[in-house]
Structure 1
Amino acid sequence: MTSHPAGTPPRATSLHAARRDAELAELAGGVRPDVLVVGGGVTGTATALDAAARGLSVALVEAEDLAGRTPRRSDVLPGGLPRDNGPLELARARRDAVECETLSNTTAPHLVRTLPLLLPLDSGVPRGTELAMRARLAAESAMRLAAGTPTTVLPTARRIPAAEARALAPGLPSPGPRGGLLSFGTQLADEARLVVALARTAAGFGARVLTRVRATRLHRDGADVVDRLADTEIRVRARAVINATGLRAAELVDGLLLNTLRIPGAVLETGRLGLDATGVVTVPAGRAWATVRCVPQPDGRSLLTAGEVELTGTPPELPELQATGRAEENDLLEAASRVLGRNARREPPLEPHVVSHALPRRTARRSDDREARPDRRGREHHVHTSPAGVISVVRGRLAPYRTAAAEAVDVAVRGCGLRAGGSRTATTPLVGAASRGRLAEAEVEQRLIDRYGTEAERVSAMTELDPALAEPVAPGLSTSVAEVVWAVRHEGAMNAADVLDRRMPPGLGPESRAAALPPVADVVTRALRGVYH
């Protein structure tokens, strides 16, 4: 079994408190990496992995925990669906199809799943709109086949009759006599798991991954940082600095003007919507930016979104963006009721879900819009070099993380005179990754395989040595004591919140979280002290 990058010791991918302290002391002592990455979200960890896989020495600093601002709920990933026939749009669609194939079949097959999506063809969908959508779906299927994705992984889109549409989504008021269009997408089960896997794989290539280290000022040749655990200031020197802090990026460099792409959403009970494992999508005529989507999640709930808006500025300039207001919640449910019927309005949402992306300050306005609609170019990634020479990478909503990271490192290599080849991450499996056939052979719980991949066998083996580790860490939870110990020993968790909010599956309600906090904190404390063997 191999669950680590080729050529590295089996335990080199483990992130834990002792490793963090030792590697931070090295930087404080004057060790100068080739690349300093600031930010421990998906873009930052992907950038650290890209640079480390090229043979560059890398340090990553993150002010909080890994994936601290990463959304836990996921829509399907862009997978090759073109919006029009323009050359730039077709090139973007081809890129997205390749990136989905890479993620699904090479880098992280265990972290993604195939999700069916239904577009109902009711009386409100003109024939012309239906034909245009069928043509786009056919183009998407062609892009995926060209990228090497087999139809056994992502089946070809097709039109289905009304009876089949009702069977897939019995909660729909009526799919209409024309049935629906059924397509398939790739969904990340939990983006926080992806971030942890990227960080650990980077560590396997030698990267120093340091959490609770906040950058206060960036320079061409390093950064001023604060070790938040020891409350000490450190000057870290590096040959190149890449700022991947998302919405905070403009705070750390001059000349970077950002807007916020805000995607409000809500989490609903799938059962009461009359849905099961099929997502439902509707596109208002001529308003693709206001698409209503209801996408099932791995925990049996559904993520509802209804459009997006680009607003000027970023938090803390716009702190109210972090939660949905009552009016916005009502708008979401009203949009859902038009698709799913009155079931969508019977009960309040289980939880709000707001995703905010940083975008370069470029907008397209129309006189009848109260707010700016997202500029298509702004949804892609953007690499900016400040007057001081600090490189910033901003990944829009539709930009694959891997290509954004690769371009940022390319700019660092060219601009800072680093000696390195091209990106290698397209062929670099993340920790736990293996072929689908290999994953199917693992003789452990499917729940563990879906979260840990091939490392599920190591997690399970801990319970054979100590059967008490197989017990749930708290009543009513599926997460075992062994998984909490694993999070501390190998995934960089340093307190109970790290485990509850970013290592355990999403969907833990406030009451359940409060009840689980004491036993999880106890296990974390004991694991940090080395009690478990």
Structure 2
Amino acid sequence: MASMDETFRTAVAPGGLLDLLVVGGGVNGTGIARDAAGRGASVLLVEQDDLASHTSSASTKLIHGGLRYLEYYEFRLVREALIEREKLLRIAPHIIWPMRFVLPYTPQARPAWMLRLGLFLYDHLAPNMTLPKCKSLDFRTSSAGQPLNGKLARGFAYSDGWVQDSRLVVLNAMDAKARGADIRTRTRMVQARRVNGVWEADIENMLDGTTTTVRARVLVNAGGPWVSEVLRERAQVASTKNVRLVKGSHIVVPRLFDGPQAYILQNPDKRIVFAIPYEQKFTLIGTTDVPWTQAPGQVEISPEEISYLCESVSRYFTKPVTPADVVWSYAGVRPLYDDAAKNASAVTRDYVLDVDTQGNQAPMLSIFGGKITTYRRLAEHAIEKLQPFLPVLAAPGWTADKVLPGGDLGEGGFEGALARLRAQAPFLGPELSWRLVRNYGSRATEIVGDAHGMEDMGELFGAGLSVREVEYLIANEWAQTTQDILWRRSRLGLHVTDEDTARLDAYLKARKPGTAPTSA
């Protein structure tokens, strides 16, 4: 298999004409690239940073219908999301799994009848839902009430799903590549123009500054927070549609409670905050909704947001949370469709797909809004919009039934795949074997290969991260930096030390492209 470096250097043939040029390597861009490539279209996707390096890795990491959206009468969106939740649980069972959510009842926030009605609708809006239904809880007898402060007597439990968000993006890119798409990270579309019925676009390699001109029948603008910039500045296309940027921030603290359940907490301002088990040893708390008017690149949580999130959970749990407890935080900018709502929390999470042809010229499809749960259906809708311009896309939809890379877990599902890996490589130990299957599914065996002991896995960089895993990520998942590997691929950023990170960084800098992993 060619390395990512070799793939990166492969240029589009001079004069060649692509079907689709996709700008943006988040969940929507990679989802569209996967769907289109699977229907036989020639696809080039360019991402100016790493895959999922912005909005798509800064989510609350939920595959959910969006219970609170019912309050804004977003019934179509919630129904579509609930249907998609079921499909995603099937096609990516290694990185997406069910989670039970506990909703404490506080009469000051919303009346009990409203919660019961909302939860009933949530359980019945979509057909053939397989997750356990809502039920009432008595916190005096339920284990779910143990972490709470005793002021709350009852609540509800319902089901949704959890996702390793950045891995979802990478797996879509991997499948798109396997079906013929060209995926280029650290590559920016500088300018695009319509010439003789097609798009001509200048793309720049951000690592060496070289520029290549490519031609495509259709331009897909999946720029996320940069969608308006790509549309109006880089492609010089006028549009009446606008994106509204909203910053969402999260904090991570040492684990607040035992058990696999998460909590959804109502605040006096009517917003909700989640407290979710995270990476075995931690609790993830979020999110905020703050209007954002600055550049969308580097965003950070503010002290006010940290205080807000700490106060939100301290209102409910026996153990208070203070800013000093925060071990990590992250923030991202959501590119929501501007529906003129006054409150950032009320802005629709639905998506709008806008096709511009400026008369009868080469089409450009721009994506406004959306949420990670509905990315696959959004991609299908995008393909439907483009079918009149690209007959190759008329092939039937297929992504609802085809598992993502590693999702073919085999007999016994996740537990069966885990048992087989442990039998193949008992030297990994229970924690490492679990993490490998949870991240890579059936492809965990590719990482282990013919190793018979940890010494065969090569140098270790902390928390079980080995040279073999690093080389797998470089060769198959476009990983290039410590940030790529620790925070968006292996999910080990919270588990390694500064010394571990420095050794990994030194390995990557000393590594020659294409070199094979070595034993320690």
Shorter-chain TM-score bucket reads 0.7 to 0.9
1:54 to 30, 39, 51: 39
2:152 aligns with 176
1:432 maps to 406
Pairwise CA RMSD: 2.8
1:44 to 14, 17, 29: 29
**1:483 CA displacement:** 0.7
Which secondary structure does the structure 1 equivalent of 2:325 belong to?
coil
How do 1:252-263 residues align onto structure 2 when only pairs under 5 Å count?
A: 252-254=230-232, 255=239, 257-263=242-248
Matched with 2:121 is 139
**Corresponding position: 1:382 with 2:330:** no
Q: Where do 1:429-468 residues align within 5 Å?
A: 429-434=403-408, 437-442=412-417, 443-444=420-421, 445-464=433-452, 468=455
1:274-293 equivalence runs, <5 A:
274-284=257-267, 288=270, 290-293=271-274
The amino acid that maps onto 1:103 is L
Task: Describe how 1:378-527 pairs up with structure 2 within 5 A.
Answer: 378-386=348-356, 387=358, 389-397=363-371, 400-415=374-389, 419-434=393-408, 437-442=412-417, 443-444=420-421, 445-464=433-452, 468-470=455-457, 473-474=460-461, 476-508=462-494, 512-513=497-498, 515-522=500-507, 525-526=510-511
Matching of residues 189-204 of structure 1 within 5 Å: 190-204=164-178
Contact kept in structure 2, 1:115 and 1:278, CA below 8 Å: yes
1:115-126 correspondence to structure 2 within 5 Å: 115-122=99-106, 124=108
Cα deviation 1:464-486 (Å, max 9, x = unaligned): 4x853435622x42222211111
Q: Which residue pairs with 1:338 in the alignment?
A: 315
**Residue 155 of structure 1 pairs with residue 132 of structure 2:** yes
Supply the distance in 2 between the matched residues of 1:451 and 1:162 (Cα, whole angstroms).
Answer: 34
**In 1, Cα distance between equivalents of 2:48 and 2:100:** 38
SS at match of 1:379: coil
Question: What SS is found at the alignment partner of 1:113?
Answer: strand
Q: Distance in 2 between matches of 1:495 and 1:354?
A: 20
Deviation at 1:425, TM superposition (A): 1.1
State the shift of 1:64 in Å.
1.8
In 2: Cα distance, 1:525 partner to 1:422 partner: 47
What are the Cα deviations for residues 361-386 of structure 1, in whole angstroms up to 9, with x where unaligned?
33222xxxxxx43444x311121234
Shift, 1:47, TM fit: 0.9
- SS of 2:451's equivalent in the other structure is helix
Residue in 2 aligned with 1:373? 344
Amino acid at match of 1:240: V
- Aligned equivalent of 1:242: 220
Aligned partner of 2:65 among 79, 85, 89: 79
Residue 201 of structure 2 is aligned to residue 223 of structure 1? yes
Unaligned runs of 5+ in 1: 1-10, 366-371
**Cα offset, 1:236, TM superposition:** 0.8
Partner letter of residue 102 of structure 2?
Answer: L
Q: Is the 8 A contact 2:45 2:184 kept in 1?
A: yes
Separation of aligned partners in 2, 1:230 and 1:507: 28
In 2, Cα distance between the equivalents of 1:204 and 1:267? 35
Q: Which residue of 2 aligns with 1:268?
A: 253
Question: In the aligned structure 1, how far is the partner of 2:372 from the partner of 2:174?
Answer: 25
**Contact 2:314–2:321 (CA under 8 A) maintained in structure 1:** yes
Cα deviations by residue, 1:280-314 (Å, 9 ceiling, x for unpaired): 212246x54x1122122134212212542444x4x
Q: What is the rounded CA distance, in whole Å, between the counterparts of 2:201 and 2:228 in structure 1?
A: 15
The AA in structure 2 aligned to 1:300 is K
Which of 13, 19, 24 lines up with 2:7 in the alignment? 19
Instruction: Give the partner amino acid of 1:207.
Output: A
Instruction: Provide the rounded CA distance (Å) in 2 between the counterparts of 1:440 and 1:274.
Output: 24
Answer whether contact 1:201 1:431 (CA < 8 A) is retained.
yes
Structure 2 partner of 1:68? 53
Aligned to 2:186: 212
Residues 161, 72 of structure 1: CA spacing in aligned structure 2 closer, same or farther, 3 A cutoff?
Answer: same
Q: Any unmatched runs of 5+ in structure 2? A: 233-238, 422-432
- Aligned partner letter, 2:100: P
Alignment of 1:27-38 (within 5 A): 27=12, 29-38=14-23
Are the structure 2 counterparts of residues 497 and 93 from structure 1 closer, same or farther at C-alpha, using a change threshold of 3 Å? Answer: closer
Q: What does residue 75 of structure 2 align with?
A: 90
Aligned match of 1:111 in 95, 107, 111?
Answer: 95
State the Cα distance separating 1:237 from its structure 2 match.
0.4
The answer (yes or no) to whether the contact 2:22–2:45 under 8 Å persists in 1 is yes
Tell me if the contact between 2:97 and 2:162 (Cα under 8 Å) persists in the aligned partners: yes
TM-fit CA distance, 1:180: 1.7
Change (3 A) 1:135 1:92: same
Offset of residue 336 of structure 1: 2.1
Change (3 A) 1:138 1:264: same
Contact residue 172 and residue 404 of structure 2 kept, 8 A: yes
Structure 2 counterpart of 1:7: none
Give yes or no for contact 1:214–1:226 (8 Å, CA) kept in 2. Answer: yes
Kept in 2, the 8 Å contact 1:500–1:513? The answer is no
Output the TM-score relative to the length of structure 2: 0.85
C-alpha distance after superposition, 1:136-162 (max 9, x if no partner): 222222245x23x43xxx222101212
Letter in 1 for 2:278: Q
- 1:496, 1:521 within 8 Å by CA — same for their partners in 2? no
Equivalent-residue separation in structure 2 for 1:73 and 1:391 (angstroms): 24
446-455 or 427-436, larger mean C-alpha shift: 427-436
Change (3 A) 1:276 1:334: same
Relative to structure 1, the CA distance from residue 210 to residue 133 in structure 2 (aligned partners, 3 Å threshold; closer, same or farther) is same
Once the two structures are TM-superposed, the CA of residue 125 in structure 1 deviates from its matched residue by 5.8
Q: Give me the whole-angstrom Cα distance separating, in 1, the residues matched to 2:280 and 2:492.
A: 8
Q: SS at the partner of 1:115? A: strand
How far the C-alpha of 1:519 sits from its partner, in A, is 3.4
Cα distance, 1:494–1:454 mapped onto 2, change above 3 Å: same
Measured in 1, the distance between the counterparts of 2:387 and 2:209 equals 33
